[in-house]
Amino acid sequence: MSPIRASRLNQGQRKPQGFLYNWLPPGSLKRRLTLWLIVPLVCLLLAYWITDDLVMMMITRHGSEFPLPDFTGQTVIEAQISLSELGLKHEISSHEYSPGKTRGLILNQFPLNGTKVKSGRTIKFVVSAGQKLVSIPFLGGKSVRQAMLDLETVGLTLGEIAWAFSDTLPERVVVFSYPAVETEIPLGSPVNLMVNRGRASNFTYMPSVVGLMLDQAVIKLEDKNLKQGIITYRTDENYLPETVLEQSEPTGAELDVGTEIDLVVSTTE
């Protein structure tokens, strides 16, 4: 007879092998704590990482920053083309008068050029309102000195003085200005005056020769029946040589015909 084989029931049960089985035996408190506490915590951390690194990146477009271009010197219409291509918006925060700057030209921007921005950012512009215009005040009947003060008050300057002769109008007063009264001209522009000299007289008015070359200044003085006086030279490298820096009489001053005018002239030596 063949030997009787032991049944499987009689064979010893094999114990599962492995690190986790030994470290977390079934039914143990450690295993229950792991399943109830540690595993949910790991899942929570994993979810946080996914949300922070992936979802938030999509929401904030982290990593999509780019340096903001310089829009100053462009018109708003020109800047809109680049802004649209970059996905940026804009708004005009203020308008400012700017001599020599065309209306609609961008003077300043915020943020400044080179700042890292993202698509959708609103860029604020300060835009030129162009040259400020002022109205010429009424100067008729006033002295040249008073007319000059009135012009300075509104931001204008005294231009050329021409002579009129009339026995019916007061002498040494402004007959009219040109451009005419109430004409709007750019701030800082000169206004020319027509002044009544009455009958032939022996007085004239001092023109402005500061900033002119010496030969031009002498011609202008002679046109007003004035003479060149003492010429003093002063070193000033900010001006071309022979540029008039100062005049001995103020612009608009009433002077006798033939008065000598002293001048300070620039030199580089």
Q: Each residue of 127-165: pLDDT tens digit?
A: 998 888 899 999 988 988 999 999 999 999 999 988 887
CATH number of 132-201: 3.30.10.20
Average pLDDT over residues 95-118: 89
Alpha carbon dihedral 160, 166, 167, 169, in 10-degree steps, equals -60
Distance CA 45, CA 51 (A): 10
Concatenating the DSSP letter of every residue in 181-225 gives TT-EEETT-EEEEEEE--SS-SEEEPPP-TTSBHHHHHHHHHHTT
Q: Which residues neighbour 249 within 8 Å (Cβ) at sequence distance 6 or greater? A: 206, 255, 259, 261
Q: Each residue of 74-88: pLDDT tens digit?
A: 999 999 998 998 999
pLDDT the model gives residue 38: 67
Instruction: Name which of 222, 224, 268, 227 is nearest 245 in CA terms.
Output: 268
pTM for the model: 0.45
Assign 255 a pLDDT band (cuts: 50, 70, 90).
confident
Average pLDDT over residues 214-242: 92
DSSP state of 269: -
CATH 3.30.10.20 fits 205-269, yes or no: yes
At 210, list the tokens: 């500061």
pLDDT the model gives residue 45: 73
Q: Each residue of 3-27: pLDDT tens digit?
A: 545 444 444 455 555 555 666 666 6
Pick the range with the lowest mean pLDDT from 22-31, 42-51, 175-184. Answer: 22-31
Distance CA 242, CA 124 (A): 47
CATH 3.30.10.20 fits 68-128, yes or no: yes
Q: Each residue of 44-85: pLDDT tens digit?
A: 777 766 665 555 455 544 458 899 999 998 999 999 998 998
